[in-house]
Structure 1
Amino acid sequence: MSTPDGLPVVHTLAELAGLVEERRGLYVRWSRGPAIDLAEVSSKDDLTGIPLPGLSANPLDVAEWWQDRPVELWVARRLHDYGHLPHEKGPGVRPWLLEGREAGRGPDNEPLVAEVGPVGWIAPGVIDEARAEVARQASPWGPLRRTAG
């Protein structure tokens, strides 16, 4: 199934893990989508407003230190870590997959991706699956954005 913009939709955590296993160089970006992002392939530093040389995104490639742990759990963690962004960035912000060339690092050491090729949307149910997978772990972790206490 695809969307009106012609991009396919990833509907399950298993499907996304399968993509990550078969393709290197995939990233997830939380935004209003490629139609908006590709008009000007540049994110902006939220603190200073300085334009950045690419789109802020998070890599999905499995790190070597992950060893033989499940790829689904890796992907669940990558999605869970940034699940706060739709609430923080406003209506219409959702995750989508892309590939491209890493052009640098942003202020939070995130990859900045240029020469972007959209791969597909990640359905909301995948985020729900990721949260459930994280919650099943012996020592579940919180989202990356931690509130000061």
Structure 2
Amino acid sequence: MSRTIDYGNLMHRAMRSLIQDVLTDVQANGLPGDHHFFITFDTQHPEVDIAPWLSDRYPGEMTVVMQHWYDGLRVTDEGFAVTLNFGDNPEPLYIPYDAIKTFVDPSVEFGLRFETQDDEDDEDELLDEVEDEITVEEVEEEPRKDAEVVSLDSFRK
């Protein structure tokens, strides 16, 4: 079997490293200016640690916002822990980088989206379904006309 370069995996590692670097800076210096994050993650990931009521309420994925109030941000090589406020109820969360689906900073229109093989398979299935539904109708084309050459002399006085 020949060896191949797994660009998808390499990109995901680089993107997760970027998130780690950003969060490490925020841990040390706080959020600068208008920066804030929308982080969507898989609540069913085995290493995610959230309150049972949150996983019941968000059984597939959840988006959290780090903006005005957050506490106890701890960044590691595998993920990050933070306490966020849910309706005046502070809740600690642990989110491994592998569980992150999107990371967006709308203040600068920056975003990362992690696609899994399942996402690609879903997109392929959807494309197949759409292609199956498309019917091609024959349309008679109008015959092409040859270009007309107009002499500019007819417009001169």
Shared fold, TM over 0.5: no
RCO higher in structure (CA 8 A, sep ≥6): 1
Name the larger-Rg structure: 2
